[in-house]
Amino acid sequence: MFAGLAALGVERVVVMPERVGLARMAAEDVGDKMAVAYADMLPAWESGDSTAAARIMAESGVSCLITLGGDGTNRVVARGCGSVPIVAISTGTNNVFPQMVEGTIAGLAAGAVATGIAPIDEVCLRSKRLDLYIDGKPDELALVDVAVSREMFTGARAIWDLSTVHEVFLTRADPSSIGISSIGARLKPLELDEPAGIYFKIGDRNSRQKVLAPVGPGSVAQVPIAEWSMMAPGDRRPIGLRPGTVALDGEREISLLPDRKVEVALSLDGPVVVQIDRAMACLARHGTIRR
C-alpha cells in the first residue's frame, strides 16, 4: 500500500498505533519518498481505538482512509471518519463491506483519491447504514446487517448458529457474498447505493418459502423465510423479541432487556466508499503515475 501511495506523490501517511510494528517496517521501503507518522493518541487496545483514530485523522485533514479488517472493523471506523472516503480492504471471512484487493492496487486507488487524480464524485459511493435506537435515542450503527438473536449473552460475539437468528435487517444483498447478507440476496439483490433495505424473519420447517444460501465458509443451507419486505430510508422498525441480543455486522453487541424499546432504521448517510475499479480506471485514463 505504501508503495502505491508513494508512486502517486502522497507526501504524508498517518497510521493508527499498533503493537506489531508492521507500519514501521513497511515504511522503511518508502522513507525517502514520504513521511509515515503514527496518530497522536493513547490506544486502549480495543475496538474503540479505530473510532478514535478515524476521528483524529478526519479532523487533521486526511484525504482518504485505508482500513484493513472485516465488516465490524469498518463499522467502528464509520463512527469517526465523517465524510472522508474509505478504501476498505477485506481480511478474514464472511465480509460484505470491504473488498478483497491486492495491497499495491489499494494504495494506488487511495493515492489517486488523495491527490485528486480521481475525483470523489466520480469514483466514490455513499453507502447506507442501519441506525439502532434505544428508548428513542440513536445508540449504535451497522453497515451491512442487524441480526436479532435468541442468544441471551453478548460474550460469544460472532453469530455462527443460524438457528438462533430470529430476524435480520440488511443495507445490501450481494448474490456473490457469503453469510447473512447472502440470504437476503436470494429474496432480492440489493446494491450498495440503492436507496432501500431488506427485512426478513427466519421461519421454521413448515415455512412455505425457503432459500438456498452460502451462510458460511463450507456451509450452504436451506433457510426458511417466514416473511420479508423492503425497507425505505427513515423507516424505523421495532424489535419485539425478548430476551435476546442484537448483532451488528456479525457481532453481538446489545442485550434485549424487557424495559428497553429497541428500533432499527435505514439511513442513506453511511460512509463514503472508494470503488477501487473506478479509481484505477480513472488513473489509467489520466495516463501518468507521478512521483
Distances (CA, A) of 160 to 3, 104, 157: 37, 33, 9
Task: Answer yes or no: do 81 and 133 share one domain.
Answer: no
Alpha carbons 125 and 15: distance in angstroms, whole number? 24
Task: Answer yes or no: do 24 and 88 share one domain.
Answer: yes
Task: Answer yes or no: do 114 and 149 share one domain.
Answer: no
Residue from 279, 281, 285, 287 nearest 107 by CA:
279
Task: Answer yes or no: do 113 and 193 share one domain.
Answer: no
The domain tally of the chain equals: 2
Q: Classify residue 17: in a domain, yes or no.
A: yes
Alpha carbons 111 and 100: distance in angstroms, whole number? 18
Q: Classify residue 291: in a domain, yes or no.
A: no
Q: Classify residue 11: in a domain, yes or no.
A: yes
3-class secondary-structure state, position 261: coil
Task: Answer yes or no: do 225 and 183 share one domain.
Answer: yes
Task: Answer yes or no: do 276 and 192 share one domain.
Answer: no
Q: Classify residue 101: in a domain, yes or no.
A: yes
Alpha helices in the chain (DSSP H): 2-7, 22-27, 48-60, 71-78, 103-114, 120-123, 180-187, 276-286
Burial class for 291, CB neighbours closer than 10 Å (0-12, 13-18, 19+): exposed
pLDDT band, very low/low/confident/very high, at 291 (cuts 50, 70, 90): very low
Task: Answer yes or no: do 107 and 133 share one domain.
Answer: no
Render pLDDT for 266-278 as a digit per residue (tens, 0 to 9): 999 999 999 999 9
Contact predicate 279/113, CB 8 Å: yes
Cell of 184: 437476503
Task: Answer yes or no: do 54 and 157 share one domain.
Answer: no
Task: Answer yes or no: do 281 and 201 share one domain.
Answer: no
Give the structural domain span for 49. Answer: 2-127+271-286
Task: Answer yes or no: do 58 and 140 share one domain.
Answer: no
In the chain, the percentage of residues whose pLDDT exceeds 90 is 79
Q: At what angle do helices 276-286 and 103-114 cross, to 10 degrees?
A: 70
Render pLDDT for 100-112 as a digit per residue (tens, 0 to 9): 999 999 999 999 9
Identify the pLDDT of residue 253.
83
Mean pLDDT across the chain, nearest whole number?
A: 93
Task: Answer yes or no: do 176 and 200 share one domain.
Answer: yes
Render pLDDT for 65-94 as a digit per residue (tens, 0 to 9): 999 999 999 999 999 999 999 999 999 878
pTM of this structure = 0.92
Identify the pLDDT of residue 159.
63
78: domain CATH number is: 3.40.50
